[in-house]
Chain A
Amino acid sequence: DAGVTQSPTHLIKTRGQQVTLRCSPKSGHDTVSWYQQALGQGPQFIFQYYEEEERQRGNFPDRFSGHQFPNYSSELNVNALLLGDSALYLCASSFRRGVSPLHFGNGTRLTVT
């Protein structure tokens, strides 16, 4: 039973560039959430996708956008990268209904230079 998979594992980008991160949820899960974790801090909620729509969004600018595909996989896009966007980006999947813990992938480490 495959868990949450994310790609790539590491990424180095230059300020002003754009980046796309990918996530495949745990088998059977229908909801994907994205979190940003800066060094030494807890994860911060970016947004959540269910039925291919953004359902909830945290306090992140419009430079952060996403997409969910019919197979429940998801992408996180960040435009006009800033140095402060350097972080570990975590994808988490869950069931929409009932009490469901988040199941996380190993994350993508983004470095903006």
Chain B
Amino acid sequence: AQKITQTQPGMFVQEKEAVTLDCTYDTSDPSYGLFWYKQPSSGEMIFLIYQGSYDQQNATEGRYSLNFQKARKSANLVISASQLGDSAMYFCAMRETPRGQNFVFGPGTRLSVLP
């Protein structure tokens, strides 16, 4: 069963606008972590932001914020003030327990920022 769903294969956003990339997840474990990664065309995977299942507040890192809705099992990434360099693949990932090291990745969303 797919544990991470990213329903948007591709997204377009105008430069300087905000964009939301969707992620839903499936787990029965009460303790888990959610991560977002960016993968430019060069292939490297860049860690962006983390949200723990017990965190009361939504995570923020600079222009990145995570809209965490636990009851809906969603962890959407919001990028504010998009830049041309934000064009890349974005992956949502989950680690199910604090000690579990296996990250499960979604299929990704390709974001294209238009000038």
Contact = CB atoms under 8 A, between A and B. Distances in A.
Does chain A bind chain B?
yes
A50 B33 CA distance: 20
Contacts of A68: none
Nearest to B48: A101
Contact of B106 (A33, A42, A45): A42
Contacts of A96: 101
Contacts, number: 61
Interface string B15-55: 00000000000000000010101000011111100101000
Interface string A75-101: 000000000000010101010101101
Chain B binding site: helix, strand, loop or mixed by DSSP? strand
Contact of A55 (B50, B91, B101, B106): B101
A43 B43 contact: no
Interface in B65-115: 91, 93, 98, 100-108
B43 to A, nearest CB: 5
**A interface bracket (residues with beta carbon within 8 Å of B):** 20 to 34
B107 A106 contact: no
B102 A99 contact: no
Interface of A: 31, 33, 35, 41-45, 48, 50, 55-56, 58, 88, 90, 92, 94, 96, 98-99, 101-107, 109
The 6 closest A-B pairs by CB, nearest first: A42-B105, A104-B45, A101-B47, A106-B44, A107-B43, A48-B101
